[in-house]
Amino acid sequence: MSSNAFRHLHDRMLRWARPRTPEPLPAVFDRRRIYVLPTRFGLFYSMLLAVMGLGALNYNNNPALLLALLLAGAGLASLIAAQLQLSQLEVVAIDAEPVAAGTPLRARLHVRAAPGRIRRGLRVDMRSGRHDAIILNLSGDRGEADVELATEHRGWLDIPRLRISTTRPLGLARAWAYVWPQAPLLVYPAPEPDGPPLPEGRGEAAQSRLKSSGEDVHHLRAWRAGDARRAIAWKASARRDQLLVREYEQPLGVEVVLDWRATAGLPYESRIARLAHWIDLAERERRRYRLAAPGQPGLGPDHGPRHRHACLRALALMPHG
């Protein structure tokens, strides 16, 4: 059989594996969704035992037969043991800090199980992409594993079906179960790289901008990645041997309006990217901003993490054009 056809068959088999659709968490692994199959070494082992058993039967060599059967019994017991390591494991939740599309999303899988059985070294993997194995260890009755998910598009992220597997105790069989969390993980739109500065907008906005970049220095703070070059206080930095950035007085109640219409002429997704970029920029400059996206009530004016999340969320959930 060609590997392609095999792959096809494999995919078809996977479609039958439980769960077949994303499911709400928490999900408990019961025996109906735990699969156990021998590993390649397990097959080799069983073949070995079959040969031994046949030989022993042929020669009516009872010690040899007994040995083969004992090993086979231990092997079978290890199958059960492998299954039991997953049995009653409960995937409680999966959560993640939203990130911009394109950067991997680090999702944290929370599992729980009754203590009393060793559940260590469980592997978490997903079918797409070759990742290093993610190891899930339970100490006591709970454990966590960080799963990195690739993000490509803004919007709700479909978590792929995750496989939690173990080959313990003897490496003869792999027991695995799928979990397909239907969890709200949001991916924000990727901000436009090297985008233009904030729009001048209306008169007051220009004024406030002028003011904010004026000489009214409130205090200095350490330089952070992403700060504009022109915000660096060179003289002060030279004195302190450390890059310092001018922190300006709060914009004086004058907000910048991030308007969908201001991005006219760009392709649809680029407009969203531009707005996302402006949101980041406005946050960095600690300006109050207002988002006017089509089909949505205006957000703001406000600033701060909560407002930022609300705006980015609104952008992320814009219909795909």
Partner 1 sequence: MVLASAALCLLPLLLQLPMRIAVLVAMTAVLMTTLSWRRPLPGLLRLLLVLSLIVAVLVMSGFSIGRDTGCALLAAMIAAKPAETHRLRDARSLLGFSLFAPFATFLLDQGPLSLAFGLLASVAVLVTLQQLADLEAGDPGTPAISWRRLAGVGRLLLVGLPLALAAFWLFPRLASPLWGVPERTVARPGLSDSMRPGEWIDLMADDTPALRVKFFGPTPPTSQMYWRGPVLWDFDGREWTQPRWLQGTPPARVESRAAGWDYEIEIEPTDRQLLVSLDLLRTAPDGSRLAVDHSLFSHRPLTSLTRWRMQSAPPAHYDADIYRTLRQRALSLPEGYNPRTQALARQWREEAGDDDAAIVQRAMDWITREFAYTLSTPLPGRHTADEFLFDHKEGFCEHFSSAFVVLMRSAGIPARVVTGYTGGYYNRLGSYWLVRRSDAHAWAEVWLPGRGWVRTDPTAAVAPERIYDTLADRAPGAGGLLAAWGNVPPGLITPVLEFTDWMRHGWNDFVLGFDAERQRHILRPFGIDRLQPAQMIGLFALAAAFALLWMAWLSRRSERERDPLLRAWHRLGRRYARLGLGREPHETAGDWVARIARIRPDLEPALSELSHRFTEWRYAGGQITGQQEQAGLQALIRTLRRHRPARSSNPARIPGERR
Q: Which residues are near partner 1 by CB under 8 A?
A: 41, 44-45, 48, 52, 54-78, 80-81, 84, 87-88, 114, 116-117, 120-123, 133, 135, 137, 166-172
> Is the CB of 41 or the CB of 223 nearer to partner 1?
41
Q: Report, in this order, helix, strand and coil percent for the chain, each rounded to 5.
A: 35, 25, 40
CB of 78 to partner 1, least distance (A): 6
CB of 115 to partner 1, least distance (A): 8
Quote the CA–CA distance of 291 and 281 in Å, as a whole number: 13
CB of 55 to partner 1, least distance (A): 7
Please give the full DSSP string across 62-131, using - where no structure is assigned: HHHHHHHHHHHHHHHHHHHHHHHHHTT-EEEEEEE--EETTSPEEEEEEEE--SSS---SEEEEESSS--
> Is the CB of 77 or the CB of 238 nearer to partner 1?
77
CB of 148 to partner 1, least distance (A): 16
Q: Report whether 78 contacts 173 (CB < 8 A).
A: yes
CB of 84 to partner 1, least distance (A): 5
- Nearest-5° Cα angle at 13, 76 to 42: 25
Quote the CA–CA distance of 318 and 189 in Å, as a whole number: 10
CB of 51 to partner 1, least distance (A): 8
> Is the CB of 2 or the CB of 60 nearer to partner 1?
60
CB of 149 to partner 1, least distance (A): 20
Amino acid, res. 204: E
CB atoms within 10 A of CB 143: 19
> Is the CB of 84 or the CB of 206 nearer to partner 1?
84
Lookup: tokens for 264? 């006219």
> Is the CB of 25 or the CB of 257 nearer to partner 1?
25
CB atoms within 10 A of CB 284: 14
> Is the CB of 62 or the CB of 103 nearer to partner 1?
62
Q: Report whether 157 contacts 180 (CB < 8 A).
A: no
Quote the CA–CA distance of 144 and 24 in Å, as a whole number: 18
Quote the CA–CA distance of 72 and 45 in Å, as a whole number: 9
- Give the chain's length: 321
> Is the CB of 68 or the CB of 276 nearer to partner 1?
68
CB of 289 to partner 1, least distance (A): 43
> Is the CB of 65 or the CB of 318 nearer to partner 1?
65
